Amino acid sequence: MERILKDSRVLVTGGAGFIGSNLVDSFLFSGNTVVCLDNFSTGKKENLKAFSGNTKFKLVEGDIRNYGDCLKGVENIDIVFHQAALGSVPRSIKDPMTTTDVNIGGFVKMLFASIESGVKRFIYAASSSTYGDHPDLPKVEDKIGSPLSPYAITKYVDELFADNFATIYGIDVIGLRYFNVFGRRQDPDGAYAAVIPKFMKMLMKHEVPLINGDGSVSRDFTYIDNVIQANHLAAVVKNRAALNQVYNVAHGERTTINQLFFFIRDLATEFDKDILTIEPEYGPARAGDIPHSLASIEKAKKLLYYSPTFNVEEGLKEAVKWYWKNL
């Protein structure tokens, strides 16, 4: 049985961003009408170029901190995929006020606008940072610790609001705790760029990447196509027990930053043999980072029928090819 969202009217907030634009692409491909709400603070207009001539696509340029913009976005919408947020642990430490304003204030406005407009289901991007300092591996959804950054606090508070609003107002909500998503369209530039595209761009320029700490920090790196699958499944699941829940979205494998660097370097060497000689440098560990992350995906498998199709090495092969062609 194919579990893909079709023939629905959907809103993707943050649809010009890395994950959001990939969701827009997939939802249009499967025959949905898609609205993108974005203020382009971190998203890019070039991520939407491919959709500009599509009659089933509409861009609403607006800010989730503005309730009027939220109401415009959800007009005549069946399902909201809320991806808009200010990511990055370091950014949240530098500027906790803006992170809180966007990630909590904007989230509440978006969710309440959805309720007032009669949206049937609200699916939102949660975060593995919610697990904080809880030591257990793998991470299981109902066991979390104390958050280690303002960003992590905002993402946990969103889960509390979603649960509370589902109970009070009766909207169907599902939170997807993403674990270090990577893939096509992920931005390699800027102070808060994710590690994979940053490594890739530096290697292509024959620059020496800097690893924070000794490289032993580990993450459950998750290819974008696994995330797309999880969003489709969350949209079409009919089992009431699967609603008003949060789920880990990952592959369920742990990779250290050192391993990651050498995976990327080896794959990039296929395009430029000189890259093989580049060795990383090491610097201070980053404040607010959790030391290790590994997801249990059993709950998502059981209730959403989630079955990730790309492990980290398979995903990196696709990502490196995309970056080599597009950077």
Catalytic residues: 151
**Pairwise CA distance, residues 326 & 46, whole Å:** 12
Concatenate the DSSP letters of all residues of 56-92 into one string.
Answer: TEEEEE--TTSHHHHHHHTTT-SEEEE------HHHH
Residue 173's Cβ-side half-sphere holds a number of Cα atoms within 13 Å equal to: 29
65, 14 Cβ separation under 8 angstroms? no
Distances (CA, A) of 317 to 127, 206, 222, 256, 267: 25, 19, 13, 17, 7
**Pairwise CA distance, residues 71 & 236, whole Å:** 24
**Pairwise CA distance, residues 249 & 224, whole Å:** 10
Identify any residues that bridge with 178 across adjacent strands, giving them in sequence order: 127, 249
292, 285 Cβ separation under 8 angstroms? no
Q: Is residue 290 classed as helix, strand or coil in its secondary structure?
A: coil
198, 187 Cβ separation under 8 angstroms? no
**Pairwise CA distance, residues 15 & 291, whole Å:** 30
Residues 6+ apart with CB under 8 A from 97: none
86, 99 Cβ separation under 8 angstroms? yes
Residues 6+ apart with CB under 8 A from 23: 12, 15, 81, 83, 228, 231
